[in-house]
Amino acid sequence: MLPWFRDELASRVDADPVAVQAARGYRSGTQLKCERMDTPRNLQAGAFAGTAEAYLRYRPPYPKALLASLVAQAHLPGSAVLLDLACGPGRVTLDIAASFEHVHAIDLEAEMIEAGRREAARRGVRNVEWRVGRAEEASIAAESVDLITIGEAFHRLDQVAIIEKALDWLKPGGSIAILGTYSILAGGEAWKEAVRAVARHWMTRAFPAGWADARAGAAVGPDAFKRLLIGASFMDVEVRSFAEPRDWTFDEIVGYLRSTSVCSEGALGDLFSGFEAGLKDALRPAEGHLFHEQLRCGFTMGRKQTDPHP
């Protein structure tokens, strides 16, 4: 199954002992033994400040086959309602909005919501209600939602609160889907290993107190998400994985990294120019050269019981 690590170097922080300590502490739910910060900076509010346009432009869309499978598996009624939590600039929202009568799209960052609104207007999508706020505090009527989606953000949320709220928000038989992709920073292809090495070098300097791939005690990856949903009494829980070839230009790679919480200009600050130069030196991009990968992604999905007391 896919260990969907998103923006961070995931389990690849082993070059930095402080980062190892942070990642292990947050994965296990133990207290981080570092007095310089309670929550790693890349998980704090505002971690994506200044990234919305890069996020919208350079994050690859989910494969059409994945989204079609997700919508089909949800068994939607004729007038369906979608709730997209931590929606960013609408990467999931906008690609499946046509399957719904109404969409609630919620994100903590006002900049992301504004980017989503502009993109919706550009595409002519008019059935989305955009809101700024914490996913855990969303004001949604009980049993009013047919599908909840969370794309590449579940590791950043209070998962227990979200699952509890989801069971309240979903109609009987409604579904929740947690989506994810392999990040460029997760390595794999040789060029991504080179990117990862450069990123690690500059992140170690920019995050002297360490970074982490998830909140304290959070489930990370599709198998862990599956166990979480089953434990909350969701039915028909399954993981579906997808892959498709993708080509990147050097500028697109840099653009993608600008959209992350650990390699953006906001995250690296004055170090960003050195980081970009390091990428160019490592990848040595020739004019017209493309970097190839198999984009791997998927979702974990479960259905609320139709009768909680059979």
Edge-first strand listing for the sheet containing 81-85 = 128-132, 102-107, 81-85, 145-151, 170-181, 291-303, 235-248
Q: Residues 6 or more apart from 145 whose CB is under 8 A from it? A: 81, 82, 83, 104, 169, 170, 171, 174
Average pLDDT over residues 139-152: 97
Query: How far from chain centre, in Å, is Cα 149?
Result: 11
2 belongs to a structural domain: no
Supply the mean pLDDT for the chain: 88
Residue from 310, 176, 298 nearest 243 by CA: 298
Measured distance CA(168)–CA(145) in Å, rounded: 9
Burial, 33: exposed, middle or buried (Cβ in 10 Å; 0-12, 13-18, 19+)?
exposed
191 pLDDT band, cuts 50/70/90, is very high
Phi, psi angles (nearest 5°) of residue 242 = -140, 155
Phi/psi zone of residue 221: left (φ > 0), alpha (ψ -120 to 50 degrees), beta?
A: left
Q: Are strands 102-107 and 235-248 parallel, antiparallel or unpaired?
A: unpaired
pLDDT at 76: 97
309 belongs to a structural domain: no
DSSP, res 150? E
Q: What is the pLDDT of residues 227-285, one digit of tens each?
A: 999 999 999 999 999 999 999 999 999 999 999 999 999 999 999 999 999 999 999 99
Range of weakest confidence among 8-22, 82-96, 145-159: 8-22
Q: Residues 6 or more apart from 280 whose CB is under 8 A from it? A: 250
Range of weakest confidence among 43-47, 99-103, 291-295: 43-47
pLDDT at 16: 34
For 67, 145, 157, the CA distances from 228, given in Å and listed in that order, are 22, 20, 14
Query: H or E segment at 180?
Result: strand 170-181
203 belongs to a structural domain: yes
Q: What is the pLDDT of residues 83-114, one digit of tens each?
A: 999 999 999 999 999 999 999 999 999 999 99
214 pLDDT band, cuts 50/70/90, is confident
Q: Residue length, the chain?
A: 310
Range of the domain at 267: 10-303
37 belongs to a structural domain: yes
pLDDT at 195: 97
CB atoms within 10 A of CB 182: 22
Which token pair is 217?
A: 């005690």
185 belongs to a structural domain: yes
Number of domains in the chain: 1
3 belongs to a structural domain: no
286 belongs to a structural domain: yes
Q: Kindly tell me if the per-residue pLDDT of 21 is higher than 80.
A: no
Three-state SS at 151: strand
pLDDT at 194: 96
78 belongs to a structural domain: yes
Which token pair is 29?
A: 């739910």
309 pLDDT band, cuts 50/70/90, is low
Contact 282, 194 (CB under 8 A): yes
Listed ranges 28-32, 206-210, 279-283; the one with the highest mean pLDDT: 279-283
Q: Provide the CATH number for the domain around residue 108.
A: 3.40.50.150
19 pLDDT band, cuts 50/70/90, is very low
pTM: 0.87
pLDDT at 240: 97
Angle subtended by helix axes 272-283 and 250-258, to nearest 10? 150
